[in-house]
Amino acid sequence: MRRRDYLGHLELMVLLAAWRLKPEAYGVSIAREIEQQCGYSLALAGIYSTLERLQEKGLVRPIRGEPTPERGGRARTYFELTPAGVREARSTFGALTRLAPKAALS
Amino acid sequence: MILRRPPRIAQALLRSLGGRYAESLEGDLLEEFAAGRTRLWFWYQVTCALYEQAWRTVRRQAMTFAAAFTFFLLALWAIAPVTYPVMRWARTLESDFLVLVAWLAGVPFVLGSVAGTTQRRRFTGAILLAGTCAYLTPLTQPFTLAACDLCTRSQPSTAPGAVLLLTPFASALLIGLGAWVAARITGQSSGSADEIA
């Protein structure tokens, strides 16, 4: 039987943030969104590490942007959810919502 | 007018060891730095990136490191008689400094070949790594001397077994660390451009 790869807390947050920011989801914007909405200040390396894991699971897809001078000629890498990523985000978020007691949702 | 420049050493470290998204991360850091972030913040982010990458590599290569160390210990006992001549040669040298130079001179070449192998064939890489460790052991005399001096203030011949065991462990650890650095550098080109749409 194949072991199911469950999403971790951080993975779910990054996945939802990337979905919410589409099509402008890249390292800085995802970190900023999580900080604004959840109050967690995350290192950019942590965001990229999580995105790399999500990519390996087939839940996000990287898209290379154009290099810009303010970034020292480095291109942005945008991330968008794959159909499997959308399904996984819905499934995990739905499971958490169903599991939560009413007090936690109010 | 004072020009703000991002820390170059941090950038170079990130480019060399930062992993698959090092370029994108560097761009993000430069973008934030231009928007007013400090050099300290830049260094903090790079340190986090190196830590993430190191931890990730250790987790992925855990079996390789474990196998390498096991083979190292076995090979040490098996190949010890072969390495005695090297040991004798090392002891004929006038100073420990020359032994250290001889040790260091061989390391980059050995690490390069080992790292190239471990990238694709972990088991073969582990055997090679163990053999390399065993071969280099006679040349680790400076480590033994330093460890004995530091821990027991005694000569190696009278040092407790634990201290003498520390030497192969230290050399295995150093070579493993070096192999990781070399693997990061040699593996840097793969996995970025070809996987990004």
pLDDT by residue (tens digit) across A60-105? 999 999 888 888 889 999 999 999 999 999 999 999 889 988 888 7
Least confident of B34-43, B72-81, B95-104, B153-162: B153-162
Rounded mean pLDDT of B64-84? 59
Q: What is the DSSP letter of A78?
A: E
pLDDT reading at B22 higher than 70: yes
pLDDT reading at A37 higher than 80: yes
SS3 A67: strand
Query: Which of B23, B30, B49 faces A45 most closely, judged by CB atoms?
Result: B49
pLDDT by residue (tens digit) across B80-97? 555 556 555 655 655 566
What ipTM score was computed for the predicted complex, to two decimals?
0.89
Contact B28 A28 (CB under 8 A): yes
Residue whose C-alpha is closest to residue A68's, from B1, B34, B192, B188: B34
Chain B residues lying within 8 Å of A77, measured CB to CB: 21, 24, 196
Least confident of A21-30, A97-106, B20-29, B94-103: B94-103
Helical pair B62-92 and B122-136, crossing angle rounded to 10 deg: 20
Q: What is the DSSP letter of B139?
A: G
Residue whose C-alpha is closest to residue A83's, from A52, A103, A59, A106: A59
- The helix or strand, by DSSP H or E, that contains position A75, with its residue range, turns out to be strand A75-81
Chain A residues lying within 8 Å of B26, measured CB to CB: 72, 74
Q: Which residue of B has its CA nearest to A44?
A: B45
| pTM value > 0.80 | no
The answer to whether the CB of A62 falls within 8 A of the CB of A70 is no
